Amino acid sequence: MTENLPDVQRASAFFFDFDGTLVALAPRPDLVAVEPHVREVLDALAVQFDGAVAVVTGRPLDVVDGFLAPVALPIAAEHGSIRRDSRGALHIDEGNEEAVAAAHAALDPFAEDNAGLILERKRSSIALHYRQRPELAALCERAVQDVVAENPGLVILPGKMVFELKPKGIDKGEAVRAFLEEVPFQGRTPIFIGDDVTDEHAFEVVNALGGLSVKIDEGDTLAHFRTDRKGLFEWLFRVVDKG
């Protein structure tokens, strides 16, 4: 299913999703493994493209840092609610903190009553994972819909075996826009690579800006190109080698 991905301009900026893109999905979020070649190619891209490489993820900032260490990159965490720029400065959206806390309190008993569900509390969002209980998908969807009905400042973001609840107006596309207003991303052609529904906002923004969008694996998408993780890293190493 791997397509021939195009050559990359020297004045490009790379934006990567984390789960399902940089790392393979795992039964639990804490069980993912970062293969050595992931750090190797990220480090090489950052050198070759003057630091214009960032991770845009739903994960918490410290968690991604822990997985990628010692590589340290600009990161938009929790879909952009928390963003660390290339200078190390943090940009934090403080909105709807009470709504996020209320939603977590409402969903916690539901997760406790259904073994195998994981309720992940982040700083600015929460995620209800049902990868270990896929038969509960419809039940989980109803539960998060009920919670959002009581907390209208939040929206539901469905993903692969997960429902995330996050503040309105925060998404990966807006995170990419914010990076592109700053050095070293400013003036560069954006490239976004992701695998999930949550990445479609970024694909839309990148496409509108004349950039390159790459979808990992199957599923409907706005992305211009499609590949798998093996094909992705083969392409990235070719990009680095040509530099």
As a whole number, mean pLDDT of residues 194-202 equals 94
State the pLDDT confidence band at 232, using cuts at 50, 70 and 90. Answer: very high
As a whole number, mean pLDDT of residues 12-29 equals 95
pLDDT tens digits along 94-149: 767 888 999 999 999 999 999 999 999 988 889 999 999 999 999 999 999 999 99
Whether the predicted pLDDT of 2 surpasses 70: no
Q: Are 143 and 162 in contact (CB under 8 A)?
A: no
As a whole number, mean pLDDT of residues 68-91 equals 96
Q: What is the pLDDT of residue 194?
A: 98
Q: What is the pLDDT of residue 139?
A: 97
State the pLDDT confidence band at 1, using cuts at 50, 70 and 90. Answer: very low
Whether the predicted pLDDT of 3 surpasses 70: no
Relative to beta strand 212-216, strand 53-56 is unpaired
Q: What is the pLDDT of residue 122?
A: 87
Q: What is the pLDDT of residue 170?
A: 87
Whether the predicted pLDDT of 162 surpasses 70: yes
Relative to beta strand 225-227, strand 212-216 is parallel
Who contacts 105 (Cβ-Cβ below 8 Å, separation ≥6)? none
State the pLDDT confidence band at 78, using cuts at 50, 70 and 90. Answer: very high
d(CA 31, CA 122): 17
Count CB neighbours of 57 within 10 A.
26
Q: Are 193 and 21 in contact (CB under 8 A)?
A: yes
Residue of 17, 93, 196, 199 marked active site = 17
As a whole number, mean pLDDT of residues 195-221 equals 95
As a whole number, mean pLDDT of residues 71-83 equals 95
Catalytic residue at 17? Answer: yes
pLDDT tens digits along 30-62: 999 999 999 999 999 999 999 999 999 999 999
As a whole number, mean pLDDT of residues 167-193 equals 96
**Site of tokens 């965490």:** 77
d(CA 16, CA 47): 16
Whole-model pTM: value is 0.88
Q: What is the pLDDT of residue 98?
A: 86
Q: Measured at the alpha carbon of residue 184, what is the angle toward residues 238 and 227, in degrees to the nearest 5?
A: 35
As a whole number, mean pLDDT of residues 201-206 equals 98
As a whole number, mean pLDDT of residues 178-202 equals 97
* Cα 185 off chain centre by: 18
Mean pLDDT of the chain: 94
Q: Are 166 and 187 in contact (CB under 8 A)?
A: no
